[in-house]
Structure 1
Amino acid sequence: MRVRALRSVSLFGAVALAAVAGCGGQKGAGDDAKASARRAALVAEAWDGSAAAAAWRAGYHPMGDVVQLPRGGLRSRAEEEALRDHAVVLRGTLPGAGPKNGRVTWAGGRSVTRPMVGAAESYEALAGGRADGKPHLTVTGAKAGRMTVATSRGPAVVPAWLFSLEGYADPLKRSAVTASPLPRPPIGWSRGVPGLPLARVVRIAADGRSVTVIALDGARDDGPVVTVLETAGSVVLSGAVENPEHGDRTKRARLRQVTVKLARPVGDRVVLDAHTGRPIPCEPAYGPSPSRS
């Protein structure tokens, strides 16, 4: 398991999650680990072979960036930060709404039809940040096209808006179809199990053998720990912190990228959070799918 610090955040937003999921307690570390393992097994048992799992496999669930940079990437780190900060401005016109639905296609001809978002809505998801006096990207127009997106069922070709950028020969692409709704989980939140839910998936390795998630830990504990339970139908991740009894007197926390190695590729297995019993949302560098923007 590899851990990388990102930044500090207020703990106030995490307090409610900690209260629901449990965050330490009077039991020893061995008891905590056993409780966490039991919870992961219950989540896997509830999902494997369930209607929710079947709905997940039948849908379109992006598991990678729905934004594709121009060939060769952006020209500078400042422009990369501008895109992450939504410092994007429009100097031109955008097409109309376009068709209401678009087809998502996988290898072998499998496909699903999903509602589409128009060029204006797609642009608004990229923009909205402050660009005055700061490095920014300028959109000069857009046209309909297609792109490849990593999904829970493997790479898929999807309709996209191709945005022309000032100073770039190649467009910036953004998926134009909405993700399928997440299925209703067959199991509820945990009660009294130590640890915290995981915030999101940021990356699944190209070979599917590792998953990088965002975990939260206090500024005075010994860092986050993410354990994994793999079954034929699911990958259940459990988030916790080492030595939570150290406390967090600063009321600050750190977001951490934690990479978990798997015994075999994720494939079409659903990646679940043990504490919530739900699929862990995927929010890569340049934003989630259009329906979750």
Structure 2
Amino acid sequence: MRRLLALLGLPLVVTAAGCAPAGSDPAGPTAGGSPSAGGSSASAPDHRWEAFDQRAAEVAGAWRPDPVWSTGYVPLQHATVLTGDPGFNAHTKAAFQAGWYSDQVELPANRPAAGTIRFPDGTMTVPLLSAAEAYRQLDQGDPPPCEGRPKVPGPTVEPGPDGSVGSPVATACIPLTVTAVKLGTASVRTSRGVADVPAWLFTVEELTAPVARLAVAPSAVTAPKDPQPPTGPAPGDIVGAVDLVAVEDARLTVRLGVGACDTGITPLVQERPDVVVVGGRVIRSTGACIAMLKLEPVTVTLKAPLGARPVLDVVSGAPLLLDGR
């Protein structure tokens, strides 16, 4: 499987303005809030979030992007992109997340001519991968043997005259079927904002929208730089963010890495003109608990649309990648 982390819990929602909303003084008061409190204000600061605010201020202050951040191609999103509503069911979603594919079409091995990335602030000409190369990156192998499970998705047979107890109900171990491919573009979050990036669009028989694999050759891709975290560990009740799940203007959904027995999970955000820092606060369990990391999806709302600002993790200082898989 792609991840061994447990995905438990429903999203939490909080409207929180950071210590410096776009256009305001970065030294202003913090407003990190919980769903019930609704955040603090300049007249009534919430001292419960001071540890987060201090750590977030250190992370934001240490952020020093390289020149390529504003001149090159630095993707802040996974290279496999859904181009629309895929119409997932349990079977196809599991296959997509695991990267199980079966090609039923000839995949051109020749690289096409250079393509163009269109940023909000300009364009960039880049070399491209072939469809065959992109497919090899897309395909993560075959499904494992699943004894006792169906080879193809089908209806569950309920106990009764025509069925029996123990009929297979688990997800079928099947790959997604690629039936066509063409060169197109996909919208991708980058260090220069959302860009139209050349991509190979794979038509999948079981899905209602093509799966895109970004076609830019590795020589033209710059990875986000290594983070510069603050000195010293984060406070014990502060947890970091693992990735971005969705960006909708000023609304961000992130996944926090929390303990299996943590409670009182509260998303926190500090918003500045150039960066946004996210994380959370938890109440740690004092009793015995399994040592397992849990990914908790939470939502925060900024005072201004995110735009091209990077979203940084409050623990590591690293920019978060958008991963909607």
Task: Please name the residue that 1:45 is paired with.
Answer: 61
Q: Match for residue 214 of structure 2? A: 175
- For 1:106 and 1:202, the matched residues in 2 are separated by 22
Q: 5 Å matches for 1:132-211? A: 133=151, 134-166=173-205, 171-177=210-216, 179-185=221-227, 187-194=228-235, 195-205=238-248, 207=249, 209-211=250-252
Query: For residues 167 and 272 of structure 1, what CA distance do their matches in structure 2 show?
Result: 36
Check whether the contact 2:184–2:198 (CA below 8 A) recurs between aligned residues: yes
Alpha-carbon distance in structure 1 between the residues aligned to 2:85 and 2:318: 36
Report what 2:274 is aligned to. 233
CA contact (8 A) 2:197 2:214 kept: yes
Output the amino acid matched with 1:137. L
Partners of 1:228 and 1:237 within 8 A in 2: yes
Question: Does 2:129 match 1:117?
Answer: yes
- In the TM superposition, what is the alpha-carbon distance from 1:216 to its structure 2 partner? 1.8
In structure 2, relative to structure 1, the CA distance for the partners of 1:84 and 1:165 (3 Å cut) is same
Cα contact 1:114–1:180 (8 A) shared by 2: no
SS in 2 for 1:155: strand
TM-score of the superposition, structure 1-length normalised?
Answer: 0.72
For structure 2, which runs of at least 5 residues remain unmatched after alignment?
A: 1-5, 10-45, 146-150, 152-172
1:6 correspondence with 2:7: yes
| 1:13-42 Cα shifts (integer Å, max 9, x gaps) | xxxxxxxxxxxxxxxxx9884333212112
Shift of 1:163: 2.0
What is the identity, as a one-letter code, of the residue corresponding to 2:55?
Answer: R
Q: Please give the alpha-carbon distance, in whole angstroms, between the structure 2 residues aligned to 1:247 and 1:164.
A: 50
Asked which structure has the greater CA Rg, the reply is: 2
Q: Is the 8 A contact 1:87 1:136 kept in 2?
A: yes
Q: Does 1:222 align with 2:263?
A: yes
Asked if the contact 2:119/2:194 (under 8 Å) is kept, the reply is yes
Give the residue type in structure 1 aligned to 2:7: L
TM-score after normalising by structure 2: 0.66
Distance of 1:54 and 1:182 partners within structure 2: 12
CA RMSD of aligned residues (A): 3.2
Corresponding position of 2:307: 267
